Amino acid sequence: MRFLVLGASGFVGGAFARRARAAGDEVHALVRDPGGQAATALAREGVVLRAGHLGDPNAIRDAAEGAAVLVNAAGLVDRRASAKAAAWTHVAGTENVLNAARAAGVERVVHVSCANVTLHLGSRVNWNEERSLPKRPMGVHARTTLLGDELALGAHSSAMEVTVLRPATVWGPGDQNLLPHALRENANGGMRLPGDGDALFETVHIDSLVDAMVAASEESRAAGRLYLIADGAMESAKHFFDALLRAAGAVPGWRSGPTPWIDLVAQLALGRPDPIVTPDDVVERAFDTHFDTQRARGELLWEPGTNRSARFEALARAVHADGGHAAVLGRLRRAPSDASVEAQIEAAAAWSEAAPETAGHR
């Protein structure tokens, strides 16, 4: 089978691309910088690199020609991204991908989203795919991601099947967001944990998520469906971050307090160019979260990971092999700047005029 992977130079897309290659599949990857470190590492594993990005619908279409499945893992993971960057990536970018995939004759699109499209000031215990918020979710990241999900599911048809996965917070070797940000936060006064940090914190290991992505690309029942993907470890935020930081060789530090106080600190920090913590981070850690994954288990025949201690040990070995937590900090992936987004918008407008039948937003 041939896959086209978008976001292959990132954590999730890269993990899927490597798994598919290991299984003997043909994998093409659309990357902004084919000469970059992440892209060249994929090329060494047999991934075919194609230059392009979400703002280039013609490049997406050309790369998708001959692919049976397109995996879109190109969403922003950094909630510090501006409203413009988030909207461009999650909404306009998703529309470009869907239009290009349709024009190329792709049979299935696996759209990787985020379970925090349901983030709000309240608990999410036993939350399943049928639950919806009475109002918009909290934060521009969640709101724009949700709009992208709606576009993806709305594009589903018998000619181009679409499956949407909403993973919980993803962790594991190769992480370019959660662990680097946690290390930075820990080094700058400790992890901000509302209350005692005892709220349930839902996560999914990268291997579990890739298992679900593979299943979503193959299972006929996944067509037109939405799935929550989480390991369901039933652990507190403090327990998770303690294990995560220790696996990276750091000594965890804690900065606890009432939720409103920590939220105020986060709100004030948003005025800085690169805040240590965001209001979304605070809310995710403040309220119990446990997702019901019965749909994924039943329809994808997927099972969450269980041996967490072994996975934390594997993370510790990976961090050590990478050069320690200082090297992990250096791998932190920043959100695109507004200037970068403006350049992509201008380029997309030019491509739209040249090929209006393929392009998305103009």
Considering the entire predicted model, what is its pTM? 0.91
pLDDT digits 0-9 by tens, 222-244? 999 999 999 999 999 999 999 99
- Tell me how far the alpha carbon of residue 283 is from its chain's centroid: 18
Q: If you average pLDDT over residues 321-347, what whole number do you get?
A: 74
Q: If you average pLDDT over residues 79-100, what whole number do you get?
A: 84
Q: If you average pLDDT over residues 34-54, what whole number do you get?
A: 94
pLDDT at 360: 43
Q: What is the mean pLDDT of the chain?
A: 89
Q: If you average pLDDT over residues 320-337, what whole number do you get?
A: 80
80/136: higher pLDDT: 136
Cα separation values, 183 from 186, 207, 223, 281, 334, Å: 5, 22, 39, 14, 15
CATH number for the 2-352 domain, one of 3.40.50.720, 1.20.120.140, 3.40.50.880, 2.60.40.10?
A: 3.40.50.720
Cα separation values, 23 from 4, 110, 128, Å: 15, 18, 31
266/59: higher pLDDT: 59
pLDDT band of residue 361 (cuts 50, 70, 90) is: very low
Of 137-146, 223-232, 242-251, minimum mean pLDDT range: 137-146
The H or E element spanning position 28 is strand 26-31
pLDDT at 273: 62
pLDDT at 272: 66
What is the rounded CA–CA span in Å between residue 30 and residue 270? 32
pLDDT band of residue 359 (cuts 50, 70, 90) is: very low
- Tell me how far the alpha carbon of residue 247 is from its chain's centroid: 22
Of 5-14, 127-136, 228-237, 289-298, minimum mean pLDDT range: 127-136
Task: Write down the domain spans for the chain.
Answer: 2-352
342/52: higher pLDDT: 52
pLDDT at 78: 76
pLDDT band of residue 343 (cuts 50, 70, 90) is: low
At CA 26, angle to CA 25 and CA 27, rounded to 5? 110
pLDDT band of residue 355 (cuts 50, 70, 90) is: low
26/271: higher pLDDT: 26
232: left (phi over 0), alpha (psi -120 to 50) or beta: left
Of 14-23, 77-86, 149-158, 337-346, minimum mean pLDDT range: 337-346
Positive or negative: CA dihedral 90, 92, 95, 96: negative
pLDDT digits 0-9 by tens, 150-166? 999 999 999 999 999 99
pLDDT at 140: 86
Q: If you average pLDDT over residues 185-200, what whole number do you get?
A: 93
The H or E element spanning position 97 is helix 93-104
